[in-house]
Structure 1
Amino acid sequence: MSYPDTYYRRTMTETSDRPSLNGSTECDTVIIGGGLAGLTTALQLARAKLAVVVLEAESIGFGASGRNGGFVSAGFATDSSAIARVTGAERAKAIHRLSIEGVDFVRDTIRDLNITDARPTPGIISALRYDGGDSLKRYAEEMNRDFGSDLEYMDRSQIRTVLKSNRYFQALRSPKSFHIHPLNYLRAMAREIERLGGRIYENSAATDCQLSGPEKIVRTTHGHVKARRVVLTTGGYTGPLVGKLKRSFLPIATYVMISEQNPELIATAIATSSAIGDNRRAGDYYRVVDDGKRLLWGGRITTRAASPAALARELRREMTGTYPQLSDLKTELAWSGLMSYARHLMPQIGEMMPGVWHCTAFGGHGLNTTAMGGKIVAEGILGQSDRYRLFQPFGLVWAGGVAGLAAAQLTYWKLQAQDWWRERAA
């Protein structure tokens, strides 16, 4: 589905167009990709008075960064025990603390830049679709003890008071998490980068690059950039510019729809301003938007994007299966977007060769983790820290190509079957 038809594009408050690159220019660091990772990196470098150029193939926030669920909460797409098996327990805790720092970074940026049109709304509820209260309590106690998470346990009666569905058994609410309008957030960041002297070129896809020497050259159709450093932050829409990066992740499609205006009907099902996600792999995530007038609902993943009509049917089936009382709530828009997933289900952050950095594979991780990635890449470039090295165990490993996509789809179907069986047993 084309970008201009999405809800986020329609409700963005800053609509200025930026020029494409024509001719040659020079800078300290050129960033390829105008999503959240790229803009966060650019913002931090511009704040340090480095000359920065951002090349975006489409427009700022075109990809998943600008049209996602808007969730800002700590954690990763894979669980902490899986991370600890790779890194060890202490390093896993340090990595989790970085994700908390990412939440704080997004919150602080909204405050410092006065991005009121990001509409930050506190609270994210993570709900169980089976009876697992004891394990959920233990998890909350552990996270509150180790990280000061302040997670609030909700039993069956509490969760069904605010989410009027028999699908949910228990939940945790995170008051420190929040949800936002991501495209307005990104475009405000872009304005600040430009105010600080950074240059952003839209409709300027990188077509070729020379990365081996001390001077890097990145070419577009009508120009080129010479720089000391290159940062690759292209996500699910990464092309063949750097083969090693392209081969290291899978482009996975996810789906979102927005309802018609019907606040009275929506209130019969959802009585909270918190965003909601369930415990299934690639499960549902949703939130009430437009001051309670509409419902934004996302979920499901596939290795190939479906048509808007087909994806709307799938998402509606999920929505009405959870809330039968919403069967008359009409869908106004539906869209899909590509996210990048690494085989190890962790972000890929680091320096692949001298002066060439990468910050990608943020599918399923949330806005905070993507922002954190850009922040620590900027720290590495500025020599302020080497915290990006925490992600060395999750490198640019081959994702398997076509076979990897097939395996990912089969794995998702397997996990769906396991979810179905567990819920059926409940």
Structure 2
Amino acid sequence: MIQPIQSRRLYEEMAYGSFPIANSYWRTTIALPTHSPLDAPTYCDSVIIGAGYTGLNTALALAKAGQNVVVLDAQQPGWGASGRNGGFCCLGGASLSLRRMLGRFGLSAAQEFLQTTRHAVDHVASLLETYSISADRHSHGETLMAHSAASKKEMQNEIEDLRKLLGVQATFLPKEELAEHGLCSKEFHGALTVPIGFAINPMKYVIGLAQAVLQSGVRIYGESPVTNITQDYQGRHELTTPNGTVSAQNLIIATNGYSSETVPAWLAGRVLPVQSSILVTRQLSPQELADQGWTSRQMCYDSRKLLHYFRLLPDNRMLFGLRGSCRSTQAAHNATKTRARQDFDRMFPAWTHVETSHYWSGLVAIARNLTPFAGPVPGMNQTWGAMCYHGNGVAMGSYAGALLASQILGHGPKTPTLMTQPLRRFELGRWRRLILPLIFGWYEIRDRVW
């Protein structure tokens, strides 16, 4: 069966070029190896499109089981979300509230998924240790900061749910105790810390992971976008790139927010990329840290729907992220940078004089189901996909790759039922990005009044 490919993606071309990451801090922290393009016909057991956390984890597990594996990326490992995110390795992956998850899937399926999010964090920790990946790990769990009195009350109610459903004892700090824990900002009304997870340098992780994958015998080809997919009479997948071809029994799609609408055609209308932007300051002096009263290295995020996420890096730079624009143009990029700086100055007024040395943006993937996907691709033989981690891809994106390998091999950890639900199409199809201004506008109003 032939599937003609005419590459079409949802955002303006700038989103898929070098401009959004030209000033990324992570790219200055480690040498970035270059993987040559595929330049000849090649054969393998499994071919993977996408050299981020998901694709590389799938490749590693399949290779350890004895498979011959090829990974193709349109750019280079870590070029997409895996090398430009905030580095929060924590619970999460779905955009459903716990209440909605219980109502839609039931107690058993919800608990199964929640336990999987915990396994995902442990999975990344194991990779860092097993392969001696030095990724600047810090933070004891994650801390949710209440942006309002109402969110503080709801946060306190979550403690018992976390204990019952996940076996985790979270701790709450009232507003008057934040300063003594190095979390001083008049913006916040309290803080809930869940003692699972840690922060990392995401680029160091993905580059170290790619090195482990290479050492396992996997072939990684960069600058090799897939331009056509066919299946021969034996059912083998034939993938065409500008300078070479791959023939494989198994096909794995791991392109997440950088997916095309047409590679394969099944993806059309099923993934909604949303921009996220990050600024990083210059190094802060001990006096500047004391002036603000923010000395904690906890990875934090606030309780807004249009959330902010932030953490003090090991070298005393402050990282600060937020949801970005609905467009990918230079004007939109600059406007979001201005907004990010305004929010930063409001939350940390003692640092209004501190220069922002780095700023960049990227795409995260949202599913219409609001749950991550890791499973067989409907209507395509011997094809699997994993994507849509809703801004929590460090842990869940990594573990989803391992789960796909388990499905292909027929042994290993079980994929939660919640994650195998086929991705639904968004109602507006190729025009679905038009709903983002409406959603963001509603969230902004809600964040102000709640």
| TM-score normalised over the length of structure 2 | 0.89
Kept in 2, the 8 Å contact 1:77–1:365? The answer is no
What CA deviation, in whole Å up to 9, does each residue of 1:322-354 have, x standing for no partner?
122221111112111112211222212210132
Distance 1:155 1:103 in 2: 27
Kept in 1, the 8 Å contact 2:109–2:418? The answer is no
Distance 2:398 2:351 in 1: 35
2:170 aligned partner = 151
Kept in 2, the 8 Å contact 1:164–1:268? The answer is no
Q: How many residues in Structure 1 have an aligned counterpart in Structure 2?
A: 420
Tell me, what secondary structure is at the counterpart of 1:387? coil
Superposed displacement of residue 68, structure 1: 0.5
What CA deviation, in whole Å up to 9, does each residue of 1:16-36 have, x standing for no partner?
211110111111110000111
1:47 aligned partner = 64
Superposed displacement of residue 254, structure 1: 1.1
Distance 1:268 1:355 in 2: 58
Distance 1:238 1:38 in 2: 13
Structure 1 stretch displaced more, 224-233 or 38-47: 38-47
Q: Does residue 1:137 correspond to 2:170, yes or no?
A: no
Distance 2:65 2:28 in 1: 34
Tell me, what secondary structure is at the counterpart of 1:268? helix
After superposition, the Cα gap between the structure-2 partners of 1:315 and 1:101, relative to the gap in structure 1 and judged at 3 Å, is same
1:362 aligned partner = 389
1:224 aligned partner = 245
After superposition, the Cα gap between the structure-2 partners of 1:110 and 1:120, relative to the gap in structure 1 and judged at 3 Å, is farther
What CA deviation, in whole Å up to 9, does each residue of 1:172-216 have, x standing for no partner?
112321110011101111111111111100111111111475211
Q: 1:56 aligns with which of 66, 70, 73?
A: 73
1:252 aligned partner = 274
Structure 1 stretch displaced more, 349-358 or 263-272: 263-272
Structure 1, unpaired ranges of 5+:
none
Counterpart AA for 2:391 = G
Structure 1 stretch displaced more, 380-389 or 31-40: 380-389
Structure 1 stretch displaced more, 251-260 or 147-156: 147-156
Q: Does residue 1:295 correspond to 2:303, yes or no?
A: no
Q: Does residue 1:416 correspond to 2:444, yes or no?
A: yes
Q: 1:16 aligns with which of 33, 43, 58?
A: 33
Tell me, what secondary structure is at the counterpart of 1:143? helix
Q: 1:70 aligns with which of 56, 65, 87?
A: 87
1:330 aligned partner = 355
Distance 1:380 1:176 in 2: 27
After superposition, the Cα gap between the structure-2 partners of 1:156 and 1:187, relative to the gap in structure 1 and judged at 3 Å, is same
Tell me, what secondary structure is at the counterpart of 1:334? strand
Q: How does 1:8-407 map to 2 (within 5 A)?
A: 8-12=26-30, 14-75=31-92, 76-132=94-150, 133-161=152-180, 162-211=182-231, 214-239=235-260, 240-263=262-285, 264-269=287-292, 270-292=294-316, 294-307=317-330, 308-352=333-377, 353-384=380-411, 387-388=414-415, 390-391=417-418, 394-399=421-426, 400-407=428-435
Distance 2:352 2:419 in 1: 47
Superposed displacement of residue 306, structure 1: 4.8
Distance 1:17 1:333 in 2: 23
Percent of aligned pairs with the same amino acid: 26
Structure 2, unpaired ranges of 5+:
1-18
Kept in 1, the 8 Å contact 2:269–2:430? The answer is no
Superposed displacement of residue 134, structure 1: 4.3
Superposed displacement of residue 257, structure 1: 0.9
Kept in 2, the 8 Å contact 1:216–1:228? The answer is yes
Which 4+ residue blocks in structure 1 deviate beyond 4 angstroms? none
Distance 1:332 1:61 in 2: 21
Tell me, what secondary structure is at the counterpart of 2:360? strand
Structure 1 stretch displaced more, 155-164 or 295-304: 155-164
Distance 1:45 1:277 in 2: 35
Superposed displacement of residue 262, structure 1: 2.3
Kept in 2, the 8 Å contact 1:121–1:274? The answer is yes
Distance 1:4 1:341 in 2: 25
Structure 1 stretch displaced more, 81-90 or 185-194: 81-90
Distance 1:225 1:210 in 2: 11
Structure 1 stretch displaced more, 133-142 or 376-385: 133-142
Kept in 1, the 8 Å contact 2:369–2:423? The answer is no
Superposed displacement of residue 118, structure 1: 4.2
Distance 1:326 1:52 in 2: 49
Superposed displacement of residue 315, structure 1: 0.4
After superposition, the Cα gap between the structure-2 partners of 1:82 and 1:72, relative to the gap in structure 1 and judged at 3 Å, is same
2:13 aligned partner = none
Structure 1 stretch displaced more, 335-344 or 191-200: 335-344
After superposition, the Cα gap between the structure-2 partners of 1:38 and 1:225, relative to the gap in structure 1 and judged at 3 Å, is same
Counterpart AA for 1:395 = P
Counterpart AA for 1:315 = A
Kept in 2, the 8 Å contact 1:110–1:118? The answer is no
What CA deviation, in whole Å up to 9, does each residue of 1:246-267 have, x standing for no partner?
3201121111111122233244
Distance 1:21 1:376 in 2: 27
| TM-score normalised over the length of structure 1 | 0.93
Kept in 1, the 8 Å contact 2:306–2:323? The answer is yes
Counterpart AA for 1:348 = F
